Chains A and B, each alone.
Chain A
């Protein structure tokens, strides 16, 4: 238990569906992240929020839309996804301390797009 929870843990959706992934951290951190991990590929950073402001967006397709309403919650809204978007989506949080890279990850949401 890392103090970062994600729901749902598993999600199957069609290409025309709209769904949202939720992440919540109970660590008092002020930065939150979304990562994507596809089979046999390294983790890819998608979005970074610091103090509820988006500070990084790694050229992610617009069918992924993040939302950070407060420092404890992070959402990833999904619409019109493609089968290649099937992956493990991981949320993480940290204290925004400049050059420290100690992040705490949630268990992930296993997404399958059919």
Chain B
């Protein structure tokens, strides 16, 4: 099974940029890297997905180096409402199907 490694927790202040890095050494050639956000007692919410280089949308950017063994989610100017758990996911390198393997995620705490 593909595995990801993220920091367990991070702290930040409102208005700062937050970068969360994830390592995924066993990523399959054709798999995408996907990030989700989860608030307590809610389902995860898709944030961003990429294959290589850089992807940007209205809420975040995703940086992926050429070897694709890691990725960095960048949240610009965080607010209190960005306090949540962030999950980095890659496909299961063995099955290739849309099998999301969630790790423990990174718990981000944004303070005033």
Residues of chain A having any CB pair with chain B under 8 Å: 2, 4, 31, 33, 42-45, 48, 55-56, 88, 90-92, 94, 96-108, 110
Contacts and interface: CB of A to CB of B under 8 A. Distances in A.
Interface of B: 28, 30-32, 34, 41-46, 49, 89-91, 96-105
Contacts, number: 71
Given A100-B49, A101-B31, 4 more contacts: A2-B43, A2-B45, A31-B98, A101-B100
B98 A48 contact: yes
A44 B44 CA distance: 13
Contacts of A96: 98
A91 B42 CA distance: 11
Nearest to B34: A101
